[in-house]
Structure 1
Amino acid sequence: MPVETKSWPARDPDARLDYVYTIPLDEGDSVASYSAEELTGGGTLESDSIEGASVKLWLKGGEDGQTNVYRIAWTTDAGREDEAVITQLVVSNETAALEGYDKPGAGHFLQRYPAFASVPSATIEYWLADASRFVDDSWSQPDYAPGIMAYAAWQMARAGIGGSGSSLPAGVTRFRSGAMDVAISDSVASASLKGGVAASLYEEEFCQLRRRNLGGPRLVGCG
């Protein structure tokens, strides 16, 4: 059985907050022992406790843009053993303003599109870098960063990334500790399937920006 993965909402590095994970138990079973640890990040796990099947973690600190990864493992009175991996993005509420043709980062992206708060920062940075292939300095300065972010949001939604509550989105083939070495499969990177209403909304936003900056017959793909 694969390890359960989930995400907690993004947190400001200056915030000290508690988050609860409820251990799934079969009827009549109970928790015999548990452990909670931080796998990657900046030492943000201050303390942990359990009440019944609810494990509470107190988190504080971290650096803007980093993704912290936690693991909660348990054993039940009936002898069942399992674990869950939980991620949380640290995003400062004081993200530096973009000027000129500055490229947006994960913090800027999440301020514009908070629906992607469950997505690891490295995944967002990947799609922002990919989007910069389609938006360059021929665009007007006011539309440059919004264009990159809108295209990234469109492609992520098409690929099924974000909004599902999954900490490791479909297509993430590697998730290492330390400096966040995330790899995304070719099948997801080149996905052409529609991602539903959300994808169409991001597509519409990008195409409006592109029409304003390019126009004419170069608008292939923006109906």
Structure 2
Amino acid sequence: MAYAPPTPADLKARFPAFGTVPDETISVALEDAASVADNGWPDADRRKAVMLQAAHDMTLRGIGTGAEAELAKAGALGFTSFRSGQLQLDRAEDSAQASGDPLAQTTYGRQLLDLFRQRSPGILVI
């Protein structure tokens, strides 16, 4: 069976936080994310990777109803706490975020990083 790219309905089923996002918006995100995985990937992993990349990209743009999207809309993604009196802003010290990898900014991106790690074998140094 040939690879079938994910549809907006597929993404909404997997990630309910995008249930109210217009299909056209999701279609564009899926098209932009299509290059994240190639024909060498098993179809199921490829579809998942494309959807994770699209969800990550939309979340960074503040699209969706998840907490991370709401924080991105407010320009506060990556902060773990706020305080109003004598302003205190704390950023996450998560090792994934400390790595500087842009995918580490969202839960979707971190899942995609995990998928990449599963697909690439470790390097053995002797």
TM-score range, shorter chain: 0.5 to 0.7
Counterpart among 140, 146, 153 of residue 42 in structure 2: 140
Separation in structure 1 between the aligned mates of residue 60 and residue 122 of structure 2, nearest angstrom:
25
1:202 aligns with 2:108: yes
Q: Which amino acid aligns with 1:213?
A: R
Larger radius of gyration: 1
Instruction: Determine whether 1:115 maps to 2:17.
Output: yes
Separation in structure 1 between the aligned mates of residue 30 and residue 107 of structure 2, nearest angstrom: 18
Alpha carbons 1:128, 1:148 under 8 Å: kept: yes
* Whole-angstrom distance in 1 between the partners of 2:120 and 2:76: 24
Q: Which has the higher helix share?
A: 2
Q: Which residue of 2 aligns with 1:152?
A: 54
Q: Give, as a single letter, the amino acid of the residue that structure 2 aligns with 1:153.
A: A
Shift of residue 196, structure 1, vs aligned partner: 4.8
RMSD (CA atoms) = 2.6
Which SS does the other structure have where 2:107 is aligned?
helix
Structure 1 counterpart of 2:72 = none
Greater fraction strand = 1
Q: Give the TM-score, by structure 1 length.
A: 0.36
Deviation at 1:116, TM superposition (A): 0.6
CA-to-partner distance for each residue in 1:25-70, whole Å, 9 max, x for gaps? xxxxxxxxxxxxxxxxxxxxxxxxxxxxxxxxxxxxxxxxxxxxxx
Alignment partners' CA distance in 1, 2:59 and 2:28: 14
Amino acid of the structure 2 residue aligned with 1:107: A
| Number of residue pairs aligned between Structure 1 and Structure 2 | 90
Per-residue displacement from partner, 1:69-123 (whole Å, max 9, x unpaired)? xxxxxxxxxxxxxxxxxxxxxxxxxxxxxx6521000000100001111211000
What's the % identity of the aligned pairs?
Answer: 31
Q: 1:163 to 1:138 in 2, by over 3 A?
A: same
1:59-74 aligned at under 5 Å gives the runs none
In terms of mean alpha carbon deviation, does 122-131 or 139-148 score higher?
A: 139-148
Structure 2 residue runs without a partner (length 5+): 67-74, 80-104
Deviation at 1:140, TM superposition (A): 2.0
Question: Helix, strand or coil for the counterpart of 1:132?
Answer: helix
Q: Distance in 2 between matches of 1:159 and 1:111?
A: 20
TM-score by length of 2: 0.62
Inter-partner Cα distance in structure 1 for 2:37 and 2:76: 21
Superimposed CA distance per residue, residues 195-216 of structure 1 (whole angstroms, 9 cap, x where no aligned partner): 459x521111111111222456
Displacement after TM superposition at 1:142 (Å): 2.3
